[in-house]
Amino acid sequence: MAAPNIVNVTTITGKTAVAILTASAVSIVTNSAASGQLYKINDVMIANYTGSAITTTVTLLRSTVSYYLAGTITIPAYSTLVILGKDTAIYLEEGDAIQALASATTSGSITISYEIIA
């Protein structure tokens, strides 16, 4: 299926995804390959809730290729980094995913707010 025409949508559903980051890339938000929906990513934030700096990488996975939204960025201790804000929103097409990892397991969390457009 193709993504919907965003002029003729019937529903927009707000969602928030959260996860604890690990040293391996994990999909946080995934638009199913046959969803018939478009996901508008409004915000991506990573919080470092430990006393040491961590590094993080956030990618958009499309057709098995990772495109960097943030590549190995250092987040100081007890700080939050905004990767994407509403003024720089992106769309996930069918089959796309947002993936993230951190240099230290259980040292950071990610929050993604998004809308499902159908």
Give the range of the structural domain holding residue 35, as residue numbers without chain letter: 12-117
For residue 47, is it within any domain? yes
Number of domains in the chain: 1
- Looking at residue 33, its pLDDT comes to 86
For residue 7, is it within any domain? no
Query: How many of the other CB atoms lie within 10 Å of CB of 35?
Result: 18
Q: How confident is the model at residue 5 (pLDDT cuts 50, 70, 90)?
A: confident
- Looking at residue 87, its pLDDT comes to 94
The pTM assigned to this predicted structure is 0.93
What's the CA dihedral at 103, 81, 115, 4 to 10 degrees?
Answer: -70
Query: How many of the other CB atoms lie within 10 Å of CB of 101?
Result: 19
pLDDT digits (tens, 9 = 90+) for 33-92: 888 899 999 999 999 999 999 999 999 999 999 999 999 999 999 999 999 998 999 999
Strands 54-62 and 97-102: antiparallel
Looking up residue 65, the CATH number of its domain turns out to be 2.60.120.1330
Beta carbons within 8 Å of 1's beta carbon, 6+ residues apart: 34, 35, 36, 94
Spatial contact of 108 and 10, defined as CB atoms under 8 Å apart: no
